[in-house]
């Protein structure tokens, strides 16, 4: 598989990775609103090679700005997921459904890794919890505000609550002050949300699926969660590599990512 630069443009951050022979060899992250910084990161990872850049995005205006900055940086061979490159994933959705590329790419990579029914949690600006059945078909799932978004919403929606940054609360059972109470409420709310959804999907499917978590907040939220079997740093980037491989080479040569690790207990 030829080397490529894969970029995942999210609402808050843009992940940039160099992929060689189907494996992520180096990656970094920049604010997705800073197109120049994202392009500079891609240029650094490409080094002196003339590599294709493949962009996946849930923020079209930001990805357009990034594409322009990439061209100015000398990376002119640019393809985009959706417009130029399809996502090799079967879906079972309602008429008119238009799930975000990030969800479909996560599902593609999760199926590539596991090859069985699974739940994919993507913990970023929003948290998505999606289901893929044992045939590799994406059924959709649920979307909720993520860790930072919920904390910020409490601040902007009230007069008395502070603007709090995400952090794991201590081991105490109760939030003894406003900040720790907000953090505890959002943390356990998200974990409870995920638990209920996993149980809901398992009941509908008739079997308990494996659960894989990804995204910038996955480690902090789910490292000690007994329902989460695996944590993968960036399934979207892996999904980009899978989509590129499906478009350019045979199934036998498609990337097989295998560096998933089981969560470790979180410690402050």
C-alpha 54: how far from chain center: 16
* Per annotation, catalytic residue among 48, 102, 171, 217: 102
Residue 126's DSSP bridge partners are 145
Which residues contact residue 143 at a Cβ distance below 8 angstroms, ignoring those fewer than 6 apart?
A: 126, 127, 128
Residue 119's DSSP bridge partners are 131, 211
For tokens 């080094």, name the residue. 47
Q: Is 102 a catalytic residue?
A: yes
H helical segments located in the chain: 35-46, 60-72, 101-114, 147-156, 178-205, 218-222, 235-248
DSSP 240: H
Concatenate the DSSP letters of all residues of 112-181 into one string: HHH-S-EEEEEESSEEEEEEE-TTSEEEEEEEEE-HHHHHHHHHHT-SS----------S-SS--SHHHH
Catalytic residues: 102
């Amino acid at each position: 598989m030829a080397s490529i630069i894969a970029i995942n443009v999210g609402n808050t951050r843009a992940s940039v990775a160099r992929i060689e022979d189907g494996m992520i060899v180096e990656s970094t992250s920049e604010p997705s609103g800073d197109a120049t910084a994202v392009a500079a990161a891609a240029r650094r990872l490409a080094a002196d090679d003339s590599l294709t850049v493949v962009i996946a995005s849930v923020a079209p205006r930001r990805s357009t700005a990034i594409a322009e900055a990439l061209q100015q940086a000398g990376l002119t061979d640019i393809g985009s997921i959706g417009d130029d490159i399809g996502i090799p994933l079967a879906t079972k959705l309602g008429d008119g459904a238009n799930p975000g590329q990030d969800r479909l790419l996560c599902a593609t990579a999760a199926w590539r890794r596991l090859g069985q029914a699974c739940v994919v949690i993507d913990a970023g600006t929003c948290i998505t919890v999606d289901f893929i059945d044992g045939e590799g078909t994406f059924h959709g799932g649920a979307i909720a505000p993520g860790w930072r978004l919920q904390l910020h919403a409490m601040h902007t929606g009230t007069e008395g609550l502070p603007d709090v940054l995400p952090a794991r609360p201590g081991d105490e059972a109760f939030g003894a002050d406003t900040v720790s109470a907000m953090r505890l409420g959002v943390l356990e709310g998200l974990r409870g949300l995920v638990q209920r959804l996993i149980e809901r999907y398992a009941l509908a499917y008739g079997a308990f699926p494996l659960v894989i978590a990804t995204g910038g907040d996955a480690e902090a939220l789910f490292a000690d969660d007994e329902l989460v079997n695996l944590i993968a740093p960036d399934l979207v980037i892996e999904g980009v590599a899978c989509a590129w491989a499906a478009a350019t080479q045979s199934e036998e040569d498609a990337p097989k990512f295998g560096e998933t690790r089981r969560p470790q207990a979180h410690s402050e």
